[in-house]
Amino acid sequence: MFKRRRPLKKTILIMITVIFFVALCSMDMQIRKTLYEMAEVRAVQMATEAINNAVRAKVAEEGMLYEDLIIVHKDSAGKIVLMQADTAIINKIASDTTIAVQSAILRLGEESLYIPFGQITGLYLLANLGPKIRVEIVPVGTVRVNVDDRFEQSGINQTRHSIYLVFDTDIRVVVPLKSGRASVVTQVPVAESIIVGDVPSTFVSLTDGFIEKSINK
């Protein structure tokens, strides 16, 4: 009787060990996934903020005005008949601004982001507890910029014309035992003006395609 129970206890012990190991692996994978998702969100936020700050600083430095980018043609009655983009100036501004954005993204790679382990629980009381896990942000590939614009109604017989730089780049987010690539896309306004009266039916496009700059350390 005693000899029959011994194999049964051994089997139960093996089953408990296997279940515990599977549960532990599942928990570990879930923690890694949660940690990576949190790190990715924080990294993209930091990269977006860095891009916005770099563009705003460059725009302020250049003293950029709407009149420098868009040439407005009027008829003898003062009515706007044609709006034409100065593509040479716009492309130069886009290129110069992209260089500033490159530098801002590269500086992110020199900084370290730390997430307290307690934040993984999702509980406010534990958010700042536990060891801090280091997150690395590594610039990847190129910074691409496109120029976009938008016409919006801004009152009676008034239209706001806004010009944007749209940046698109990738970063690699690295946490312990896991890494992945995240896309950062942000749109930054650089100039705008209020058009009084009808918007002309003829508007020469700002630019075609993307300007690309490689990220080099």
pLDDT for residue 85:
81
pLDDT digit of tens for each residue in the chain (217 aa)? Answer: 445 556 777 777 777 777 766 666 666 666 777 788 888 888 899 899 999 999 888 888 877 788 888 888 877 777 777 778 888 888 888 888 888 888 888 888 777 778 877 776 666 666 677 678 888 888 887 888 888 888 888 777 788 888 889 999 999 888 887 888 899 999 988 888 888 777 666 555 555 544 444 555 5
pTM: 0.72
pLDDT for residue 23:
64
pLDDT for residue 152:
83
pLDDT for residue 167:
92
Q: Where are the domains of the chain?
A: 2-214
The single residue listed with the structure tokens 């009266």 is 197
